[in-house]
C-alpha cells in the first residue's frame, strides 16, 4: 500500500524537512501551509524534482472548515491518508503573565491545540478500523517547553504543548485497538524559521546552547528523522509515547 502523509505546517522548519525526507522513503506528501505559499511550492518542487509526489494545500489551523477541506483535498488527490504529522504551530512574542492579551491567547490555543485536535478527528474518521479504515500513524509535534513551563515569558506557549501531550496520551489509548498509533515528539531548542528571530542573536544562541546538556542547538533534520521513525513500522509497538528530542533537556 502506498503511504500518504499529510503534514500541517509543512512549508518550513521541521515540517518541511520531514516532508523532504519522507518523500525519499516513498510517501506521497501533502504539505499544508497558511501563508508561506512560495516556500510550500518550493518544497513540492524539491520533492517532484527527485521523482516524488507532493502537493501544497493552503489552510488555517484556526479554521475548522479549512481543516475539513484539507483532508478531503489530500485524499482526492493522493488517496487515503495513512500518516499525519501535526507540525503547525505558533510561538508569539514572549510575555509575562501580567501582560497577557486575550486575543493572542485565544489564537495561540486555537492553532496549537484545537486545530491539532480537529486534525486528529479528521484522521480518525478515515484511519480507524472502526470507521472502515486500515489504521495509520500520527505524530504530534509538541515541545520540551510543555514539560517545564518553558523559558522565561513562554508559559502560555508551554501550556499549549502540555495540552498536546495530555491529549496525545488519551487519544492514543482511545484508538490503539483501531489500528492507529499516536505519539508526540518534544523538540528542544531547534533552529527553524519560528525560532531564528531569537536564536540569530549571538548572545541568546550562546546562552541557550549553554543550557542544553549536549551544548548546542538542534537542527530540523534531527527532529524529522525521529518523526519518521515514529511513523514507521519499526515503531509498531509504540503508541502514547512522548519522545524527547532535546539534547538532554535544559536547565532554566
Q: Does residue 212 lie within any of the structural domains?
A: no
Is 204 within the bounds of a domain? Answer: no
In this prediction, residue 209 carries a pLDDT of 74
- β-bridge partners, 138: 84, 182
Task: Tell me if residue 66 falls in helix, strand or coil.
Answer: helix
Q: Coil, strand, or helix at residue 226?
A: helix
C-alpha distance across the termini of the chain, in Å: 46
Domain that holds residue 184: 4-189+220-244
Please name the residue that has the C-alpha cell 542544553. Answer: 212
**Which pLDDT score, from 0 to 100, does residue 208 have?**
74
- Identify whether 40 is part of a domain: yes
In this predicted structure, what is the pLDDT of residue 195?
62
Query: With contact defined as beta carbons under 8 Å apart, do 123 and 70 qualify?
Result: no
Q: Which of 120-124, 225-229, 244-248 is predicted with the least confidence, judged by mean pLDDT?
A: 244-248
- pLDDT given for residue 206 in this prediction: 76
C-alpha distances out from residue 110 to 92, 117, 144, 187, Å? 13, 10, 20, 21
Lowest pLDDT segment from 160-174, 220-234, 235-249: 235-249
Total structural domains in the chain? 1
Residue 213 lies in a domain: no
Where in the sequence numbering do the catalytic residues fall? Answer: 157
Residue 184 placed within a domain: yes
Averaged pLDDT for residues 147-172:
93
Q: What residue has cell string 515540517?
A: 15
Question: Which of 160, 154, 161 shows the shortest CA–CA distance to 100?
Answer: 154
CATH number for the domain spanning 35: value is: 3.40.50.720
Cβ proximity of 136 and 81 under 8 Å: yes
Is residue 232 situated within a structural domain? yes
Is residue 35 in a domain? yes
Query: What is the per-residue pLDDT for 74?
Result: 98
What is the pLDDT at residue 1? 53
The reported pLDDT for the residue numbered 199 is 67
Which tens digit of pLDDT belongs to each residue from 6-64?
Answer: 999 999 899 999 999 999 999 999 999 999 999 999 999 999 999 999 999 999 999 99
Identify the pLDDT of residue 232: 98
Residue 198 lies in a domain: no
pLDDT of 251 strictly over 80 = no
536547565: which residue's cell?
Answer: 251
DSSP secondary structure of 177-215: GGTEEEEEEEE-SEESTTTHHHHTSHHHHHHHHHTSTT-
Place of cell 514572549: 94
Q: Report how far residue 99's alpha carbon sits from residue 130's, in angstroms, rounded to the nearest whole number.
A: 46
- Go through 98-109 and write b for each residue having 16 or more CB atoms within 10 A of its CB, e for each that does not: eeeeeeeeeebb
pLDDT at 194: 62
User: What are the pLDDT digits (tens) for 161-203?
Assistant: 999 999 999 999 999 999 999 999 999 878 766 665 666 678 7
Q: Which of 59-73, 138-152, 171-185 has the lowest mean pLDDT?
A: 138-152
> Looking at the predicted structure, is the pLDDT value of residue 246 above 90?
no
Q: Looking at per-residue confidence, does 213 or 155 come out higher?
A: 155
Contact 242, 143 (CB under 8 A): no
Comparing 56-65, 147-156, 223-232, which segment has the lowest mean pLDDT?
147-156
Q: Report the sign of the C-alpha dihedral through residues 80, 125, 132, 128, in that order.
A: positive
* pLDDT score at 247: 80
Amino acid at each position: 500500500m502506498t503511504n500518504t502523509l499529510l503534514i500541517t505546517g509543512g512549508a518550513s522548519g521541521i515540517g518541511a524537512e520531514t516532508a523532504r525526507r519522507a518523500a525519499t522513503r516513498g510517501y506521497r506528501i501533502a504539505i499544508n501551509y497558511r501563508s508561506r505559499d512560495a516556500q510550500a511550492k518550493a518544497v513540492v518542487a524539491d520533492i517532484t524534482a527527485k521523482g516524488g509526489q507532493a502537493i501544497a494545500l493552503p489552510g488555517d489551523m484556526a479554521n475548522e472548515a479549512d481543516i475539513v477541506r484539507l483532508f478531503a483535498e489530500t485524499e482526492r488527490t493522493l488517496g487515503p491518508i495513512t500518516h499525519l504529522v501535526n507540525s503547525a504551530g505558533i510561538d508569539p512574542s514572549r510575555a509575562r503573565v501580567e501582560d497577557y492579551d486575550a486575543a493572542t491567547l485565544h489564537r495561540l490555543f486555537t492553532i496549537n491545540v484545537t486545530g491539532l485536535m480537529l486534525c486528529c478527528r479528521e484522521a480518525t474518521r478515515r484511519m480507524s478500523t472502526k470507521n472502515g479504515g486500515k489504521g495509520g500513524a500520527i505524530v504530534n509535534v509538541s515541545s520540551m517547553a510543555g514539560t517545564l513551563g518553558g523559558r522565561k515569558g513562554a508559559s502560555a506557549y508551554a501550556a499549549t504543548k502540555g495540552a498536546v501531550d495530555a491529549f496525545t496520551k488519551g487519544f492514543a489509548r482511545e484508538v490503539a485497538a483501531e489500528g492507529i498509533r499516536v505519539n508526540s515528539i518534544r523538540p528542544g531548542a531547534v533552529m527553524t524559521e519560528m525560532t531564528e528571530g531569537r536564536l540569530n542573536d549571538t548572545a541568546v544562541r550562546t546562552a541557550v546552547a549553554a543550557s542544553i546538556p549536549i551544548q548546542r542547538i538542534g537542527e530540523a533534520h534531527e527532529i524529522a528523522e525521529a518523526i519518521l521513525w515514529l511513523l514507521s513500522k519499526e515503531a509498531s509497538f509504540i503508541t502514547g509515547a512522548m519522545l524527547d528530542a532535546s539534547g538532554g533537556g535544559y536547565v532554566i
